[in-house]
Structure 1
């Protein structure tokens, strides 16, 4: 039972490998508990990797939107259409003022989403490496026990003395049970801490988005109201005028491409 996933952005994929089965060597309830818990951890770690990727994509998307709006306004400002249309020129200038006012907020939000969600998730995600080290120790000790058992079985078949091997095997089994118990305890702790660790991160992430979109909406709404008051245009006339501007904008080659 294996699941392939990245242990962090920029790192090569690693194997989130489940503990080797130890049927007949370790208690059945411990084996079943560890196997089920590892399935849950594997699913959660895969989800953690996906969230890390999505947070990065979201931050990049905010930057891309800001860059696209600035490019659009630059192209509009240099186009012949705004040169012959004072109304479109004025609308472009007003749009530019809002976009430039939003630029610091876009940069702040892009950085904030990484700080409140991306970085904490990567830090928690990396804690699995300690757990995996313990898992490898447990699997290595299981191999020791199996070798002792194989040696014991061969000696029995040959009718030779087995006392020393039995002592060696039992000692190895006790050590295995100790490591297995530690792995089970650490795995439960690791998995149980995920929700209280991530909840404030998610809340901060959502709050950052609300703040960003709330600021954008406020900026555009405020500027629209100011523009209407400055030009004394009725709502219907204003909507018709902006609709015509949007139609012209959409007809531009730079928009079509």
Structure 2
């Protein structure tokens, strides 16, 4: 399956391959433990993929929203309606000031996502590269052992001397067991790193989102209150005026398209 590290947050092209089965070659307990651990890693990886995909969509949504609001204000300000309607032009100018104030915050969200998720995941990726190298060594050693065993079986069938091949087979099996033991330990450490690494990253991401929406709410609220005070009109009349302007905006062709 694809790794979350290949989804734009880390280096690309990484795949999460399971070790080749070695039933009848390695101890059943070791083989079962490695298989179970790899299933757990794959499940956790699938969850990380979903998180990263959602984070990517969130980052794109923030960028698209900012661009859409700036485009709307630009089109509205350049329309003939705004040129002839003083109230609409004043509302547009006020809204523009809020949008421009939010631009820096919107841009910082993308950078924050990379900082709190992308950079830590690159460090985590380095751990996986070592693990994958070890996994490939184990699979290669297993293939070597199978070749030696096939050679030994052919010699036995032909009734030829097998002493040297038996020694070679036993040596290859010993090396395979050593690599498998190391892989099991390294895979366990790799999997154990995930929670302490990702938990503070996700907490930082949530804090970034809270900061963004808090700033947006405070900025828009402040602008509305300032605008209401500047016009010195009752709240109900102000709301009716804003609703009328919004209705006019919705009727514009650029909004309909």
**Structures share fold, TM-score greater than 0.5:** yes
| Structural mapping, 1:81-92, within 5 Å | 81-92=81-92
Deviation at 1:106, TM superposition (A): 1.3
Residue 37 of structure 1 is matched in structure 2 by 37
Unaligned runs of 5+ in 2: none
Of stretches 78-87 and 20-29 in structure 1, the one that deviates more from structure 2 is 78-87
Deviation at 1:48, TM superposition (A): 3.0
Does the aligned pair in 2 maintain the 1:48–1:121 contact within 8 Å?
no
Does the aligned pair in 2 maintain the 1:45–1:125 contact within 8 Å?
no
Does the aligned pair in 2 maintain the 1:19–1:135 contact within 8 Å?
yes
| Number of equivalenced pairs | 255
Does the aligned pair in 2 maintain the 1:141–1:176 contact within 8 Å?
yes
Deviation at 1:137, TM superposition (A): 0.3
Of stretches 72-81 and 54-63 in structure 1, the one that deviates more from structure 2 is 54-63
Distance 1:20 1:135, change over 3 A: same
Counterpart Cα distance in 2 of 1:62 and 1:26:
52
Deviation at 1:236, TM superposition (A): 1.6
Q: Alignment partner of 1:147: what SS?
A: helix
Counterpart Cα distance in 2 of 1:176 and 1:100:
62
Of stretches 139-148 and 56-65 in structure 1, the one that deviates more from structure 2 is 56-65
Residue 171 of structure 2 is matched in structure 1 by 171
Deviation at 1:179, TM superposition (A): 0.1
Residue 235 of structure 2 is matched in structure 1 by 235
| Structural mapping, 1:186-205, within 5 Å | 186-205=186-205
Does the aligned pair in 2 maintain the 1:52–1:122 contact within 8 Å?
no
Residue 160 of structure 1 is matched in structure 2 by 160
Residue 96 of structure 2 is matched in structure 1 by 96
Does the aligned pair in 1 maintain the 2:11–2:122 contact within 8 Å?
no
Counterpart Cα distance in 2 of 1:94 and 1:159:
95
Deviation at 1:5, TM superposition (A): 4.5
What's the TM-score, normalizing by structure 1?
Answer: 0.92
Deviation at 1:252, TM superposition (A): 0.4
Deviation at 1:143, TM superposition (A): 1.3
Please list the CA deviations of residues 153-207 of structure 1 after superposition, one character each: whole Å capped at 9, or x if unmatched: 2222222222222211111111100000000000000001100001111111110
Of stretches 4-13 and 101-110 in structure 1, the one that deviates more from structure 2 is 4-13
Deviation at 1:126, TM superposition (A): 4.7
Please list the CA deviations of residues 101-149 of structure 1 after superposition, one character each: whole Å capped at 9, or x if unmatched: 1111111222111211233224423532221110110011111211222
Does the aligned pair in 1 maintain the 2:20–2:139 contact within 8 Å?
yes
Of stretches 241-250 and 81-90 in structure 1, the one that deviates more from structure 2 is 81-90
Does the aligned pair in 2 maintain the 1:56–1:114 contact within 8 Å?
no
Does the aligned pair in 2 maintain the 1:59–1:111 contact within 8 Å?
no
Of stretches 127-136 and 245-254 in structure 1, the one that deviates more from structure 2 is 127-136
Counterpart Cα distance in 2 of 1:120 and 1:49:
15
Q: What root-mean-square deviation, in Å, do the aligned CA atoms of Structure 1 and Structure 2 show?
A: 1.9
| Structural mapping, 1:25-64, within 5 Å | 25-64=25-64
